[in-house]
Structure 1
Amino acid sequence: MKYFLILSLSFLTLLASDAFIQPSELKHLLEDKKLIIIDVADSAIYKTSHIQGAIYCDVTKFIKKENNPYSLMDSPQIIGQELRNLGINQDSKVVIYAHNTQKGILNTSYLAFVLLYSGFENLSILDGGYMSWVFENERLTSSKKSEAHEEGNLVIKVNQNILATLKSVQNNLATTPMLDARSPKMYYGTERSNKIRTIGHISYAKSSHYEDKFLRDTTLREQKELDEIYIYGHGLKKSDEVIVYGDDVFTASMEFYILYKHMGFKNTKLYEASLLEWGNSLGLPMTRFKWE
């Protein structure tokens, strides 16, 4: 019965999800004038080689520059202008990719999170990143910088429902499923997270490392395996409210993206300040040396 349920949910997820796009699918879209491909690698890597027609985006432009210890997003006005500078329109199809480094992979999910927060849903991440594209379409790469043809007309419609705050996490301890996107060693407390004072995890949270959702070539695991992880392993239902956190918003963003966009868990929330806030505040419950 369990496997029949998982198989059924897996089929429904495949029908609904466009969270990850294959290189062959992207190739067929290249002539679509509504398509915007965004490269979120470091600028030096982008200048060396990128997908033909891809626009470079520095994702730090969306983060507040002053008095911001938690890497929180800037105002909707600034976010909107930066997205329009990329040429994004209301009816655009956005594909984001990176160059297969850990930083680049998390940059893709962070930009996806910013777009979802802005009310824009027609987006995908290139499965396997730049290397998967080169493997199939080596000739469709370039070192020539691409620019947006004109400023976009995207109107920001902020979706506050995907954000969790310190207060909401406190109020939902032990009652709402919470996933820690860091490595198991950091969760368990045998390794310390960078810039985090307290060792261990937020009490009652489960370990769900975002890297475990991918194969060694950084392509997404098969749907049946993801269903086993989230539906059977974590016991989640699509109607559940789920809170995701990490060291910071970047390490949390990919776990959030997979759940919200690919798995269709639309009540998933990202604790943006994550352990930069919780783990550096005295008196907040943290647990070490325990699997929950």
Structure 2
Amino acid sequence: MISPVRAASGIFLTFLVALLSFPASATIVPGPLVDTAWLKGNLGAPGVAIIDIRGGKAAAQSFSEAHIPGAVHAPYGGEWRTERNGVVGMLPEVEVLSGYISGLGVSNASSVVIVPAGSGASEFGAAARVYWTFKFLGHDDVTILDGGWNAWLEDSANPVASGPAKIEQATFMAKPRPEILVETDEVAGEVGTQTILVDARPDKQFTGAAKHARAVRAGHIPGALSIDQARFYSTAANRLRPREEIASLVPASPKADDADIISYCNTGHWAATNWFVLSEVLGLGKVRLYDASMVGWTRNDALPVAATVQP
């Protein structure tokens, strides 16, 4: 008669052999940002999914003419955001996003690398917003190519492909994280509390001297802290600034251990950069994104708006 110990050992050995027979798991990205050397070294690695989000009228042609080998084109101005009830820049329905991402050949096992154009601070917000979208959908294995497409072109030794992308249909199943998204009624309930509202817009829009074309009123949410997202981007280097420099540019209050932060702008675009910096680069605790932002907020006349300068 075989003893229970030997039987258990046999079962474990069988399990171990079966486990080792599976192929190696996909590459796991090393952090929220990767450089071109890392991406070059991982081109063609199992599970690496490169998503080129360059937008604009000629984006499709530009991608066809030249892109990182293995990349698929998913322009930021396409399916990543939607308009709802007159408010632009809103997060699409989870089912819609899941289907779209599956169609890009991305699965839950993919290591996603987001490639923006790399043309400046405002454009970096596109990459940050797509990154946040993956995080909201429960996908942690995601990163942004620091400097984007332009950084890739800086080194002539980096390979470039042309023509249409070759996509293999995959299945992406979302596991939403509602805790990193906040709705207008929730924000209204946080005004006047210990929650830190961080406004990512330029100073002129914060003070009320200017406003987004779709915003009904100029100004900011009362009590908000102005942190223009552009400060975190080095125009000279065309990269996000180093972590230590970023930390020095953030006021003390959002860096408190118990800080509860809501990042907003006009349409959840610039706000995504501040969310990325505070949550992913600095690793602060509770940071939420308000996608409706001032365009959504100002549509409700009952919600207060503060302005120090009249437009």
TM-score range (shorter-chain normalised) is 0.7 to 0.9
- Does the C-alpha gap of structure 1 residues 65 and 197 become closer, same or farther in structure 2, counting only changes over 3 Å? closer
Asked if the contact 1:244/1:256 (under 8 Å) is kept, the reply is yes
- What residue in structure 1 maps to residue 130 of structure 2? 111
Matches within 5 A, 1:211-222: 211-216=230-235, 217-222=237-242
Q: Tell me, which stretches of 5 or more residues in structure 2 are unaligned?
A: 1-28
- The superposition leaves residues 30-84 of structure 1 with CA deviations (integer Å, 9 ceiling, x where unpaired) of 1312111110012233233221221100343143466452432222111111111
- Cα distance in 2 for residues equivalent to 1:280 and 1:30: 46
- Cα distance in 1 for residues equivalent to 2:30 and 2:185: 31
Displacement, 1:114? 1.4
- Does the C-alpha gap of structure 1 residues 17 and 191 become closer, same or farther in structure 2, counting only changes over 3 Å? farther
Asked if the contact 1:17/1:264 (under 8 Å) is kept, the reply is no
- Does the C-alpha gap of structure 1 residues 227 and 87 become closer, same or farther in structure 2, counting only changes over 3 Å? same
The alignment status of 1:205 with 2:230, answered yes or no, reads no
For residue 124 of structure 1, give the secondary structure of its aligned residue in structure 2: strand
Asked if the contact 1:17/1:262 (under 8 Å) is kept, the reply is no
Displacement, 1:105? 2.5
Asked if the contact 2:262/2:289 (under 8 Å) is kept, the reply is yes
Supply the AA of the counterpart residue of 2:248: E
- Cα distance in 2 for residues equivalent to 1:195 and 1:140: 41
- Cα distance in 1 for residues equivalent to 2:230 and 2:30: 20
Query: What's the TM-score, normalizing by structure 1?
Result: 0.86
- What residue in structure 2 maps to residue 224 of structure 1? 244
Matches within 5 A, 1:156-195: 156-175=174-193, 176-195=195-214
Displacement, 1:205? 0.5
- Cα distance in 1 for residues equivalent to 2:63 and 2:70: 12
Residue identity over aligned pairs, in percent, reads 21
- What residue in structure 1 maps to residue 99 of structure 2? 81
Paired positions, count: 273
- The superposition leaves residues 178-229 of structure 1 with CA deviations (integer Å, 9 ceiling, x where unpaired) of 1111112211222222221211111111111111101013311121121122
- Does the C-alpha gap of structure 1 residues 135 and 192 become closer, same or farther in structure 2, counting only changes over 3 Å? same
Q: Tell me, which stretches of 5 or more residues in structure 1 are unaligned?
A: 1-15
Supply the AA of the counterpart residue of 1:161: E
For residue 187 of structure 1, give the secondary structure of its aligned residue in structure 2: helix
Report the structure number with the largest CA radius of gyration. 2
- What residue in structure 2 maps to residue 4 of structure 1? none
Equivalent position to 2:69, from 35, 46, 52: 52
Cα RMSD (Å) = 2.2
Supply the AA of the counterpart residue of 1:226: I
More displaced 10-residue stretch of structure 1: 118-127 or 43-52: 43-52
Matches within 5 A, 1:230-241: 230=250, 232=252, 234-241=253-260
Query: What's the TM-score, normalizing by structure 2?
Result: 0.81
Supply the AA of the counterpart residue of 2:113: V
Supply the AA of the counterpart residue of 2:98: G
- What residue in structure 1 maps to residue 143 of structure 2? 124
- The superposition leaves residues 147-204 of structure 1 with CA deviations (integer Å, 9 ceiling, x where unpaired) of 22x2223221011001111111111113201111111221122222222121111111
Larger helix share, 1 or 2: 1
- What residue in structure 2 maps to residue 94 of structure 1? 112
- Does the C-alpha gap of structure 1 residues 67 and 207 become closer, same or farther in structure 2, counting only changes over 3 Å? closer
- Cα distance in 2 for residues equivalent to 1:231 and 1:268: 15
Higher relative contact order (CA 8 A, sep 6+): 1
For residue 242 of structure 1, give the secondary structure of its aligned residue in structure 2: strand
For residue 71 of structure 1, give the secondary structure of its aligned residue in structure 2: strand
More displaced 10-residue stretch of structure 1: 96-105 or 213-222: 96-105
